[in-house]
A and B are shown apart, each in its own frame.
Chain A
């Protein structure tokens, strides 16, 4: 136990919080907080609204407690999904693993410490979900101090079980994919299957909830009867969530304490099971993590000649970035493949609805009306913009370099060229997303050639805009000290900035075209002129101020 504590302390100190900014730059911290607030507050606000409305409805029949059970179960599901990422990066891809393996530590020691670290990360996630739930419920029910004390305890325990489950899944997966030669390939395919499962769930949920108006009453009905397959499944998957809810509902009574102890008991049993399984699975999955395949064969002349072909410096740099993106699994999953997967995944909820055919023909009829044609261009623009903002390539272009960042300063290449070369992969990938999304739209909605051309021509300035915003953000707040490549992207708050900005800019454009009632051509022209102007300004910023900012970064 002592060793677990020592290790945990060491890892905590070593871990870089996502919002770390260098000293003496108070405004950067403030800006970061504002963006986090902008990203999170609307979510929390609407959650509070939904919860209190549900409460009122259910309180009429005395069943308001169902909200807690449902909320805890859904939070558990989210924590489980995040847990898979955290466990991968903390347990397996973290650089400290290779230093820990030679030490006389049992798997339990390392696992105990790493589990605690991942749990701390999970609390950040959990507070966003459980905070509004518990507080709104408490206020609505006029609960006393005992409720809030119990709520804090429950909050601390809720993430344990989903994290145990995520750790078990990942440990099993890593154990059986630790096959020398095809390790990375196996793991990427596994990741894709994982995404597939998540999407499958989402589709299932959509299918069950669509077809009729999905209002408050339906949700209330669903909570009471638990006839929804997904909810039933989630509650079964995390059997503790009901116990957690029961412990809070009659807070202060002996009965609620009993439920709390039962909940604690389940969590402790979970940890024991995790440690027991880990003793068998962890070492055999993690050993040889950094091994790589080598042929040790001389390159044949033709391949050699091709590889040493001279290229302009900027192209060579962009190509280097491109190769790193495709070959590093964490970057592949988060930057490269996601630009292809997201537009495809967005289709699934639509297609899985029972009424998807009607919806498509409805959109088609609406689009043919002249009055909204302009707005459809604006909507297409907003969709491309948001899709571009969801891609983390440009916004992590500097963070991804990590400790190797200093090499940029050695190269006899103007910083301006480095920045522009770094923009290249992000631009290509967001253009791929745009074209894919457009291709889907063409397939379903039989768009006119004119619309397609205008959508592309007005979409391009949007992509340039969002990618330049990304690199400017990363220049200000680069996260270079990470211990696994996964961390460079997933535990980096920078992608939030373009996302918030993309949502706002996209929303404003749609709103403007709606209120101005511009034609298709007018809207496209407006977007092109406006965003070209903004882009000229941002470009000037990148090429005049950017080099100075880049120089100030010390890895």
Chain B
């Protein structure tokens, strides 16, 4: 569960990237975070994960405050950043082991978990190679493996499907569903409306730092009393102020 209460972040003290945001991602749900470029999606995700500090407001992950109980809060989630070009000089397996060490994954289970993840993402043959030699999609997959190695309660994924091949994309979506169905939460940002429509239990639409809508698709249609496609609704919502 993720909770944001009155969260505000401005750059230079003038432009509000995120403005008085209130948002709850309950357990057992896949929550899709939608919005045009520069709407404040990545800033929000950076605040939730503790990369940037909000100017005002509180953020909790499974009840742990990301500022006052930072370490506990950070153990609750696994995060996949939007750019996977990290730790390029490490081998894939070294990176995943590094993450396992930092998150204190017990010796007995880590080998098995790594192999399971590698199997699902078809990465077994690449684990011994440096991440530098990976394609964009493979880098994305090794980042996902590193984020999930400690079996976090909450998944936070920034554009996780970009660059994945159809099979890996399908696998990840399947895993997200399994994770939510087991009573835990998935928070992910995307630009692909079809994916959001098919996968998410609820969506939040953000523009200019404000949540314009948060709820299910049925509620969205009800709200606008319209049967048009999600794409048309999204474009309509984010067109003006």
Contacts and interface: CB of A to CB of B under 8 A. Distances in A.
Interface of A: 290-299, 303-305, 307-313, 315-317, 319-320, 323-324, 327-328, 403-404, 406-407, 409-414, 551, 554
Interface string B113-137: 0100000000011111110111000
Interface stretch (B49-57, B181-189, B226-234): B49-57
B89 A323 contact: yes
9 contacts: A291-B133, A294-B130, A307-B97, A308-B111, A310-B107, A323-B90, A327-B90, A327-B130, A404-B87
B127 A407 contact: no
Contacts of A324: 87, 89-90
Given A297-B128, A412-B75, A308 B114 contact: yes
A28 to B, nearest CB: 19
B124 A298 contact: yes
A319 B91 CA distance: 13
B170 interface: no
B103 interface: yes
Given A327-B89, A327-B90, 4 more contacts: A292-B129, A292-B130, A296-B125, A551-B53
Contacts of A403: 83
A551 B52 CA distance: 9
A310 B106 contact: yes
A316 B98 contact: yes
A339 to B, nearest CB: 19
A313 B75 CA distance: 13
Contact of A295 (B86, B107, B129): B129
Contacts, number: 110
A333 to B, nearest CB: 14
Contacts of B89: 323-324, 327-328
Contacts of A303: 128
Contact of A409 (B50, B93, B94, B129): B50
Residue among B102, B103, B106, B125 with the highest chain A CB neighbour number at 10 A: B102
A292 B220 CA distance: 48
B117 to A, nearest CB: 12
A412 B51 contact: no
B109 to A, nearest CB: 10
B132 A410 contact: no
A361 to B, nearest CB: 48
Nearest to B49: A410
B101 interface: yes
Contacts of A307: 91, 93-94, 97
A74 to B, nearest CB: 38
A299 B97 CA distance: 14
Given A296-B126, A404-B87, A409-B50, A316 B133 contact: no
A281 to B, nearest CB: 25
Nearest first, the 6 closest Cβ-Cβ pairs linking A and B are A316-B101, A294-B133, A412-B74, A292-B133, A292-B132, A294-B129
A403 B125 CA distance: 28
Contact of A311 (B51, B101, B114): B101
Given A313-B101, A324-B90, A295 B75 contact: no
A412 B128 contact: no
B14 to A, nearest CB: 14
Given A320-B90, A323-B90, A410 B51 contact: yes
A310 B110 contact: yes
Contacts of B97: 307-309, 316
Contacts of A319: 98
A411 B149 CA distance: 13
Contacts of B51: 406, 409-410, 554
Given A308-B93, A310-B110, A413 B126 contact: no
A484 to B, nearest CB: 13
Contact of B126 (A294, A327, A406): A294
Nearest to A415: B70
A4 B72 CA distance: 53
B71 interface: yes
Nearest to B95: A320
Contacts of A297: 125, 128
A292 B125 CA distance: 16
Given A305-B111, A323-B94, A410-B79, A312 B101 contact: yes
A407 B86 contact: yes
Contacts of A308: 93, 97, 100, 110-111, 114
A324 B87 CA distance: 8
A311 B87 CA distance: 19
Contacts of A551: 53
A53 to B, nearest CB: 51
B104 interface: yes
Residue among B105, B127, B134 with the highest chain A CB neighbour number at 10 A: B127
A410 B128 CA distance: 25
A22 to B, nearest CB: 12
Nearest to B134: A294
Contacts of B50: 409-410
Given A292-B132, A323-B94, A404-B86, A317 B127 contact: no
Nearest to A331: B89
B84 to A, nearest CB: 11
B136 to A, nearest CB: 12
A412 B102 contact: yes
A548 to B, nearest CB: 11
Nearest to A406: B51
A472 B87 CA distance: 24
Given A299-B127, A409-B50, A316 B107 contact: no
B95 to A, nearest CB: 9
Nearest to A412: B74
Nearest to B91: A307
Contacts of A309: 97, 107
A317 to B, nearest CB: 7
Contact of A320 (B98, B124, B133): B98
Contacts of A295: 128-129
B52 A316 contact: no
B103 A304 contact: no
Residue among A305, A315, A323 with the highest chain B CB neighbour number at 10 A: A323
Contacts of B79: 410
Contact of A290 (B53, B81, B87, B132): B132
A312 B98 CA distance: 10
Nearest to B96: A308
B52 A554 contact: yes
Interface in B3-21: none
B91 to A, nearest CB: 8
Contact of B74 (A298, A311, A411): A411
A307 B49 CA distance: 28
Contacts of A310: 100-101, 105-107, 110
